[in-house]
Amino acid sequence: MPPTTIAVLGSGITGLSAAFHLSRRFPHAAITVIDKNPNSGGWVRSKRHKLPKGGSVLLEAGPRSLRPNALSLLELINLLRLEDTLIATPKSSPAAKSRFIHVPGTRGLARIPTSVLSFLSSPLSSVILPAALREPFLFKNRPEADRGLDADESFHSFFSRRFGEKFARILGSALVHGIYAADSRQLSIRAAFPSLYQLEDAGKGSVGRGVLLSSLAPRPARDTADYELGGTLDLMKDVSVYSFRDGLSTLCDALQRNVQANPNITILQGTGVESIELGTTPNDGFNIALTSGEVTAPSHVVSTLPLPVLQRILQQPGTNAPALPHLNANTYTSVNVFNLVFPKSPSTRIHPEGFGYLVSRPAAGYDDESRNPAGILGTVFDSCAVAEQDESPSDSSEQYTKMTVMQGGPYTNRPQPTVDTIVSALAGHLTSPRSSTKARLPDPVAYEVHENKDCIPLYTPGHVTRMQELKDALRSGPWGGRLEVIGAGVGGVSLGDCAESGKRAGASW
């Protein structure tokens, strides 16, 4: 029986996307979106900050740019008519071509080589070239003999056995810092980077051979039949990353406006869920007790809540909700975001042209406070990466450089640093390797600090299998497929992943 009433728990990008698509899939169903937070959008929070001498900068507390490969996001842009608000960074720009790594214990930044010429001059070539040349000739060495076909391992384990320990620590850990703000030694390769796992399969045990064979095989046409894309694919040709003039909140705000305007959808903001109970028969649906004292009784539920939060709700004393497996299997990582705005000198560039840089794990680990004492994970050069968001003052002599520093994650043994500490560490990272003195940065004219606690799920090895077992439990028994659990904690942390899971919500009902 199709749903008559649906409760969507959470109003981040997953919840808003789910409500939007559910209303199109089930136009006669009454949908209620429930979120304890007063504002929708989840971790997406954009703010325009006015500067002391005129003009303004766009500051992001969470995600700041998107890649054009997520069709679910392009569909939303088309359906919500947001094309005129887009700003794009082309693949030909310095931000797309130049990315850097800082290795703790060294001075300055190392450019990640992207051409033969840059390989010859990059200090990273001594790490990358031997690993890349050796890997295709290594024997198949995936540790799956005693664990069956579902063998999984950490990202670090995968990179170490295929490319070597040094490659895994310097480049692999930095990549994981940039996406998951996590320790690569704890992150599942199958869940976090499934394409790498699949390339190893395609190459009969070699990632390099898998890349080569994939490049030689005919590329299948992109399947876009299930998406209403309008002209967005044409807009995204030769685009490296994109955002919106007023930040990524543009998308969430437009989704919220659309959902609120739908007479079949109600949004309860600032109201949390206390407990969930099953009705006495499968046709009775659910009874959801809210923090406001109200009780709602939907026939179907979509939860986009963090999995440990859902676990606590289901385990409330006196409720009859049967246990679900693996909701507490993963931990979450916390990230502090420092938005920094510096006055720009007409003669001196604060940072090199490029997207930004990531920081590798210290050789002695995260407890080594002598290396990377500020616990910085990476820095985005926003003024270069997404330049068109900022508004210059009327006096064009006043220009600014905007950067965003991400800090924390696996550096759990350190208190949150001050802005002065971050600026000092940033100056060290931006010092030229050839300089005998540390660079000096001007005092920021504006800054904001955001503590994003438990913002990114950490998929530990075995996550893919565990989530399949969770889905099997939801489809069978007393749940009967009427509760769907989706979101970043289940199947992907990117905004594209979240929007996609929202699009697929209720597809089997």
Give the phi and the psi of residue 385 in degrees, each rounded to 5. Answer: -70, -45
CA-based angle 286:290:296, to the nearest 5? Answer: 40
Integer Cα distance of 491 and 498 in angstroms:
8
pLDDT per residue over 34-75, tens digit each? Answer: 999 999 999 999 999 998 888 899 999 999 999 999 999 999
Q: N- to C-terminal Cα distance for the chain?
A: 7
Tell me the per-residue pLDDT of 226-284, one tens digit each, with 9 for 90 and over. 999 999 999 999 999 999 999 999 999 999 999 999 999 999 999 999 999 998 776 78
Stretch 395-408: mean pLDDT: 85
CA distances from 145 to 142, 148, 333, 493 (A): 8, 6, 32, 30
Dihedral angle sign, alpha carbons of residues 214, 219, 220, 223: positive
pLDDT at 433: 86
CA dihedral 49, 53, 54, 59 (to 10 degrees): -20
% of the chain residues with pLDDT over 70: 97
Q: Angle, to 10 degrees, between the axis of helix 495-504 and the axis of helix 71-79?
A: 70
Q: β-strands 56-60, 46-50: how paired?
A: antiparallel
Residue 68 burial by Cβ neighbours in a 10 Å radius (0-12, 13-18, 19+): buried
The reported pLDDT for the residue numbered 396 is 58
Residue 147, pLDDT > 70, answer: no
Residue 230 tokens read as 């309008």
Least-confidence region, from 144-148, 294-298, 501-505: 144-148
At what angle are helices 155-163 and 194-202 packed, to 10 degrees? Answer: 40
For tokens 């998107």, name the residue.
66
- pLDDT of amino acid 397: 56
**Apex 374 CA angle, 370 and 378, nearest 5:** 115
Domains and CATH numbers, the chain: 5-43+248-328+460-504 (3.50.50.60), 48-96+331-457 (3.90.660.20), 124-136+151-216 (1.10.3110.10)
pLDDT for residue 441 is more than 60: yes
Q: Check residue 466 and give its pLDDT.
A: 96
DSSP SS3 for 455: strand
- Does 149 score more than 60 pLDDT? no
Confidence of residue 30 (pLDDT cuts 50, 70, 90): very high
Q: E strand or H helix at 197, and its extent? A: helix 194-202
Question: What integer is the mean pLDDT of 199-218?
Answer: 93
| Confidence (pLDDT) at 176 | 99
Mean pLDDT, rounded, for 161-166: 97
Q: What is the pLDDT of residue 283?
A: 74
Residue 203 has pLDDT above 70, yes or no: yes
Q: At what angle do helices 13-25 and 71-79 cross, to 10 degrees?
A: 70
Look over the chain and give the mean of its residue pLDDT values, rounded to a whole number.
Answer: 94
The pLDDT score that the predictor gives to residue 116 is 79
Strand 400-408, strand 332-343: pairing = antiparallel
**Which of 88-102, 134-148, 428-442 has the largest mean confidence?**
88-102
CA distance 443 to 342: 7
Rounded percentage of the chain residues whose pLDDT exceeds 90 = 83
378 or 415, higher pLDDT: 378
Residues in the chain: 509
Mean pLDDT of 403-407: 98
pLDDT at 221 over 90: no
Confidence grade of residue 122 (pLDDT, cut at 50, 70, 90): confident
Cα(172)–Cα(359) distance, integer angstroms: 10
- Of the pLDDT bands very low, low, confident and very high (cuts 50, 70, 90), residue 348 is confident
**Weakest mean pLDDT among 69-78, 186-195, 273-282, 455-464:** 273-282
Beta-bridged to residue 357, according to DSSP, are: 100, 379
